[in-house]
Chain A
Amino acid sequence: MSTALPAGLPAPAIEPLTQPYWDGTRAGRLVVQRCRGCGKHQWGPEWVCHRCHSFDLGWEEVAPRGRIWSWQRPHHPVHPALNGHGPYTIVLVELPDADAIRMVGNLLCPPDAPVSIGAEVEAVFEPHDAATPPYTLVQWRLVGQSAPA
């Protein structure tokens, strides 16, 4: 499949703290931190639970659905890989099923599509198989849209 943005943007470094997330996305699963002490989800990854201070943080799959909490559409290319690409859409997605944690990704839509705060979105796993090591990003599309633009 095609990718939301051109090749050449930085790849995510897979670090000890974050590896379970990236293992999950490779398998097409959205996996986030969940505290075994208090049962709450947290994001982004941290060594300790910010609520109960337990270091016993597990990783659990959550429903790959959410709501657009906010958005932006950059035009100015801040990285050489984006030169000439044109505007693209970034969304902040709230996951109501996972204690309202938020994730950042691209909304798969035409560059002039209207964006609504509160709109329902679902995850689209975007593999980068040619990368070393390979990784998979999580993008978003409006619920009810069959194929990404």
Chain B
Amino acid sequence: MTERTLRGKVAIAGIGETIYYKHGQSPDAEFKLALQAILAACEDAGIDPREVDGFASYGGDRSDAPRLAAALGVHELRFSNMHWGGGGGGVAAAVANAGAAVHSGMANCVIAFRSLAQGQFARYGRANSLASVSGDDAFLAPYGLMSPAQRFAMKITRFMTDHDIRHEALRAIAMASYHHAQTNPRAVMYGRPLTEAKYDASRWIIEPFHRLFDCCQENDGAGAVLVVPADRAKDLPHKPVYLLGAAQGGHHRSAAPVHNAPDYASAHFKTVARNMWEMAKLGPKDVDIVQAYENFTGGVLLSLVEHGFVDPSTANDVLSLDNLKFDTGKMPMNTSGGNLAECYMHGLEMVNENVRQLRGTASNQVADPQVAAVLGGPMVTPVSSLVLGTEATL
């Protein structure tokens, strides 16, 4: 029986993104941002946009695939796919779904994308003002538990308390993103450095582990990657970046209602990470760069632990700014500024960053990287992650 895998079967041939804007500041409609990013990814790949025959997104993307196909005049639509779940849990899954479509022969040339102009719609960090709420929320909202930060905070409290992890470990995660944004002109926080003193003085969003700088911003923009069969990528302008492994989902009852997941103090990557490494035939020690989605810095800690990058018993030492820097760190992380400081594009900007890194064209270029991972939005379900590699890794 032939091995069922995506390892080395598909490649990212093109990346694109819009200008990244602060929340509410995009002059363009969300759908126009999506079009701009997709056209940029096609141009980067040297492929006529009319050849695109599939679209994959996540997080309730409002830029409808059939409308995109009509607007761009694609010859035929063969694959349209929206990954379940909110926020950036599906970022790696969208790329993997595009890859699965391409490898299975359902489509030839699929865009995975995210478009987001929250200024034109509701904010994530503000609850709606319904008079009554149903489902899970009926047991949460009346107690003032409504925002994403609040949905996840008790996982962080429990994990950090159990393992005696200090808030300074989370500060290092925030500092790394801001540090890298200072040398990335695309970053929303370019020219706006963060110091330890500024972090420590920032207001509480939620005690005991969420200060202002532990929480992502909300932004406007769009990002896209173009996924093609590995064989085709070799004939295109850029060095192909291959998908080595990807997985999505969640462990046993991770989405149990009213915070009743048996293994609760988790980012929900325990099985997903295992499956991703298995497909990639790699482990955390083989990775040169990690992009770890920051909705909240505590979620990054959990993601890193569950993917095997950090042992909880040494997290206080390992998670230091120096260790996370692109040039001197042992574990370069969020090298473009991540969600906190490049742009909260629900992690799609992290996929683009890894492609740049593996091509050797990043703003904060890591020396000769071969393998780069994206750990998607943590603590939701389903979550997803992926690992990319150069031709040398095949």
**Which residues from chain A sit less than 8 Å from chain B, CB to CB?**
4-5, 9-13, 15, 18, 42-46, 50, 69-76, 78-80, 82, 87-88, 90, 92, 101-106, 117, 137
Contact = CB atoms under 8 A, between A and B. Distances in A.
Interface in B220-248: none
Interface in B293-308: none
Nearest to B130: A10
Interface in B141-187: 141-147, 149-150, 153-155, 157-158, 161
Interface residues of B, number: 44
Contact of B132 (A13, A18, A45): A13
B106 interface: no
A105 B143 CA distance: 6
B161 to A, nearest CB: 6
B143 A69 contact: no
Contacts of A78: 125-127, 144, 146-147, 150
B150 A44 contact: no
Contacts of A88: 144
A101 B260 contact: yes
B131 interface: yes
A105 B145 CA distance: 9
Contact of A74 (B130, B131, B140, B206): B206
B134 interface: yes
Interface stretch (B49-57, B251-259, B274-282): B251-259
B131 A71 contact: no
A10 B141 contact: yes
A21 B254 CA distance: 23
Nearest to A18: B138
A50 B253 contact: yes
B205 A12 contact: no
Nearest to A5: B144
Contacts of B136: 44
B203 interface: yes
A80 B146 CA distance: 12
A74 B145 CA distance: 9
Best-surrounded residue of B137, B149, B256 (most CB of chain A within 10 A): B256
A87 B260 contact: no
Contacts of A70: 154-155, 157-158, 161, 264-265
Contact of A12 (B138, B154, B253): B138
B133 interface: yes
Contacts of A13: 132-134, 138
Interface in B331-371: none
A132 to B, nearest CB: 9
Contacts of A75: 203-207
Contacts of B191: none
A9 B132 contact: no
Contacts of A74: 144-145, 149-150, 153, 205-206
Contact of B154 (A42, A92, A105): A92
B129 interface: yes
A5 B143 CA distance: 7
A43 B133 contact: no
Contacts of B264: 69-70, 92, 102
Contacts of B144: 5, 9, 74, 78-79, 82, 88, 90, 106
A44 B257 CA distance: 5
Contacts of A71: 154, 157
Interface string B110-144: 00000000000000011101111111111111111
A72 B143 contact: no
Contacts of B126: 78-79
A102 B143 contact: no
Given A70-B154, A80-B129, A10 B203 contact: no
Nearest to B141: A10
15 contacts: A10-B133, A10-B137, A11-B131, A11-B132, A15-B134, A44-B258, A69-B154, A70-B154, A71-B154, A78-B127, A78-B147, A82-B144, A92-B264, A104-B145, A106-B144
Contacts of B203: 75-76
Given A44-B260, A73-B206, A104 B139 contact: yes
A104 B259 contact: yes
Contacts of B157: 70-72, 117
